[in-house]
Chain A
Amino acid sequence: MTVSPSIPTFPGRILEVTLPAGPGGSPVVVGGQNALPLLPEGDHPHAPAVGMEIRTGPEELPPALAEVIGPFSGNPAALAQKCVSGWGARFLFLSLSGCNPDAGGQGVQDGAAIVREVLAATATPVIVGGCGDEDVDGRLFPAVAEAATRPVFLSYAEEKNYRLVAGAALAYGHGVVSWSPIDINIAKQINLLLADLGFPGERVLIDPLTGGLGYGLEYTYSIVERVRLAGLSGDAMLARPILCHLGDAWKAREASDASEPGWGDSALRGRRWEEATGLACLAAGADLLVCRHPENVKRLSEAAWR
């Protein structure tokens, strides 16, 4: 008996995007596929890539994270090296959270200096994130764009600031991450605006905003699926690699609370919480995952097949 499976074919193809590395490092290339994720059909020239987040600001880490990345607190360059050579991160997301006025007052130039230090410490591709304060980020992104000694990605460009971020990126040859708040229309709109500025599509990633497991993950899941289906169906503005931040998973009480005896070991549970968030993102179509627990670089890479 022969079975003819129904394999959908798509007219579109996701744009291939390269996150450049420094001398001796391996660039990360994602995109290029014309099929849905995880399935043995169509072309999948590149597997999804798993990277790690480095935050420069002070923060109270959940115990499962404190144990492993706590010792590197205040030393982003050392953590960057460890992430890459010790834990296998294929890229780094350097979040300049320390420049937020609420976070203890690193100045814009301090942030730019940290970027230089991290770039000097490792040859791996880097995405630089702002601090979340609109005013500061307005000064921070141009400073980072100028200070970076090799091409990076700036995260993120949204409707309010895209001219500034894209302008800074264009001037110094960087890429940008386009951000939208779990909304496919805004995701498309911001990519249209970037294209109108003449920003090259092969230097743009889509960050659809990732809710953590149990706290809005289902919205992200469906937006990622819809963005991917739209891109494969021929919508060029959405045919871009998708980046998902798993950091929100750690904000869930379930990821850290050790006081519930029926919930099992909190250290394992925290890791699993981030892992399950990441696996759902991969199933929906994410191309880049930013995780926080070193073990999850390995775990999620297990499912990041082509």
Chain B
Amino acid sequence: MALTALDIYKLLPKTNCKECGFPTCLAFAMRMAAGKATVDLCPHASGEAKATLGAAASPPLPKVLIGAGEREVVLGDETVLFRHEKTFCHPSAVAISVRDDLPDADFAARIEAIRGLAFERVGQRISVDLVALRCVSGDAGKYARRAGAAFEATGLPLVLLAPAGPLAAAADAVGASRPLLSPPPEDLEAGARLAAARKLPLRVRARGMGGLAPALATAREAGAASLVADPAPECAREAVADATTLRRLAILARNRDLAYPSAFDLGNGFPDPFLAAALLIAKYGSLLVMDTADPADLLPLLTLRQNLFTDPQRPIQVEPGIYPIGAPGESSPVLITTNFSLTYFTVRGDVEAARTPALLLISDCDGMSVLTAWAAGKFTGESIARQLAECGIADRVAHRTLILPGMVARLSGRIEELSKWRVLVGPQESSALPSYLRRLTAAAFAPSRG
């Protein structure tokens, strides 16, 4: 937990020497508590004070970088246990595996399949993040060549799952792309020395917290600094418990020996990988290695990740504009609502359920729902009249009838006053739209001469 200004003050010399640049030790302590100053400004701080305050200033869960450039993957660096407390920052990274002993054509096809695991959703691109290269051949030269080929073809950072020999060869070949070294437990020391020499991130795999604590210490002693902890669980249930323990140790206990981003190999015969992956996306998995490259598995998992790693304080917004539903014609109904994504998706779903082709106007309301936007003055008679005039809807339909959310029925007079449109007040709840739309007569949308 973060230290208070008073906790910090107690650790300072209390001499008010001003050498830190602040008038008193207490003022300095208050700046530090606010995260605006660090202990190294104080030339007289004791070793204990430096150790305690230095540790308190660093993030509870360290940040580990894999890859470089545009596709760089960030693990860890989270500050809360529940997304509603603030937000989760760095989405669980998903690595798809490929074996190095596949025949050339199969290898290329597999890499191509991994490359294809990218989708567009609500205006965002969601995709798998890494390629995990499994060394099955035991042949260092082959493994290194395959690593080069996988990186070249996908541009994705690599997870190198290989014993010391092939691992060193691959690090020679693709070290500049900053892969994650993932030696088996028996090659931990060799892997850690390689990671230290090349300044590469290292995955440390050992069973449970009891195994990880000494293994991580070994890796640190060998000089590896950027570490990822794999507790090697045997099933989803253990995986969730381990991931939770690691995350709590970092955030609640500020434990330094075990506070690392977590990694899980859900391939190689791990039971029920889809189930484990979904639960670990919700519960603290930082890196997931999977053997499936089936989009029917990955589109749901990546969508779940997109959902849960959305900042709860910043709702996803939909681009304002005209959204056709079905194949609308010039006499199709026109509805309007705000650009809060949940509002949009709900209304869209209900209009689709009505099976009536329609045009949905989305207003720019800073991602607020209808009532909130109205209360904030973002969804008004003026703004709606302006949108009707400027968005080009008049060219898409021959009528001039707008369906307004029932919650803001009071805007109808103003809209009719300011525009040439007639307003029909729709239902209060979007869920009543299907029956509402089905009850409307074609006469409501007869061409207007106005």
Contact = CB atoms under 8 A, between A and B. Distances in A.
Interface string B52-93: 000000000000000000000000000000111000000000
A4 B213 CA distance: 11
A263 B209 contact: no
B321 interface: no
B296 A221 contact: no
Contact of A221 (B119, B253, B282, B435): B282
A3 to B, nearest CB: 4
A217 B307 CA distance: 7
A264 B296 contact: yes
Given A216-B342, A275-B278, A283 B283 contact: yes
Given A3-B209, A38-B237, A302-B275, A8 B299 contact: no
Given A3-B209, A6-B249, A216-B342, A303 B279 contact: yes
Contact of B274 (A5, A102, A272, A284): A272
A216 B344 CA distance: 11
B275 A279 contact: yes
A263 B282 contact: no
Contact of B83 (A222, A265, A272, A303): A222
A264 B299 contact: yes
Nearest to A223: B84
A273 interface: yes
Interface size class of A (residues with CB under 8 A): 35 or more
B431 to A, nearest CB: 7
B345 A5 contact: no
Interface in B209-230: 209-210, 213-214, 217
Q: Is the interface of B mostly helix, strand, loop or mixed?
A: helix
Residue among B279, B301, B304, B345 with the highest chain A CB neighbour number at 10 A: B304
A269 B210 contact: no
Nearest to A266: B296
Interface residues of B, number: 55
A280 interface: yes
Residue among A1, A268, A279, A305 with the highest chain B CB neighbour number at 10 A: A279
Given A216-B346, A268-B296, A262 B274 contact: no
A54 to B, nearest CB: 19
Nearest to B294: A264
A39 B244 contact: yes
Given A40-B241, A102-B434, A279-B278, A302 B84 contact: no
Contacts, number: 143
Interface stretch (A111-119, A161-169, A207-215): A207-215
Interface string B254-286: 010110000000000000101100110011000
A218 B307 contact: yes
B282 A284 contact: yes
Contact of A254 (B217, B255, B303, B342): B303
B84 to A, nearest CB: 4
B349 interface: yes
B303 A1 contact: no
B245 interface: yes
A219 interface: yes
B295 A263 contact: yes
Given A5-B245, A38-B283, A39-B240, A213 B342 contact: no
A91 to B, nearest CB: 22
Interface in A4-45: 4-8, 38-40
Contacts of B237: 38, 40, 305
Given A276-B304, A280-B304, A264 B241 contact: no
Given A251-B349, A276-B278, A39 B272 contact: no
Interface in A254-286: 254, 262-266, 268-269, 272-273, 275-276, 279-280, 282-284
A140 to B, nearest CB: 17
A219 B236 CA distance: 25
A5 B342 contact: no
B310 interface: yes
Given A217-B304, A279-B279, A302 B272 contact: yes
B84 A226 contact: yes
A263 B299 contact: yes
A229 B82 contact: yes
Nearest to A305: B237
B345 to A, nearest CB: 5
Contacts of B278: 275-276, 279-280, 283
A132 interface: yes
Contacts of A146: none
B308 interface: yes
Interface string A32-63: 00000011100000000000000000000000
A262 B279 contact: no
A279 B279 CA distance: 6
A303 B280 CA distance: 12
Contacts of B392: none
Contact of A303 (B275, B297, B345): B275
Nearest to A283: B282
B252 interface: yes
B210 to A, nearest CB: 7
B422 interface: no
Interface of A: 1, 3-8, 38-40, 101-102, 132, 211, 213-219, 221-222, 225-226, 229, 251, 254, 262-266, 268-269, 272-273, 275-276, 279-280, 282-284, 299, 302-303, 305
A-B pairs, top 8 by smallest CB distance, nearest first, are A264-B296, A264-B295, A283-B282, A6-B252, A279-B278, A269-B296, A218-B307, A268-B296
Interface of B: 82-84, 116, 119, 121, 209-210, 213-214, 217, 236-237, 240-241, 244-245, 248-249, 252-253, 255, 257-258, 272, 274-275, 278-279, 282-283, 294-301, 303-304, 306-308, 310, 312, 342, 345-346, 349, 353, 431, 434-435, 438
27 contacts: A1-B214, A3-B210, A3-B255, A4-B253, A5-B245, A6-B248, A8-B248, A8-B252, A38-B240, A38-B241, A39-B241, A214-B303, A215-B342, A215-B349, A218-B307, A218-B308, A221-B83, A225-B82, A226-B84, A251-B349, A265-B296, A268-B297, A269-B296, A273-B300, A279-B279, A279-B282, A283-B279
Given A40-B241, A276-B301, 14 more contacts: A1-B213, A6-B248, A211-B342, A214-B307, A216-B346, A218-B310, A218-B312, A221-B83, A225-B83, A229-B82, A263-B119, A273-B300, A275-B300, A284-B282
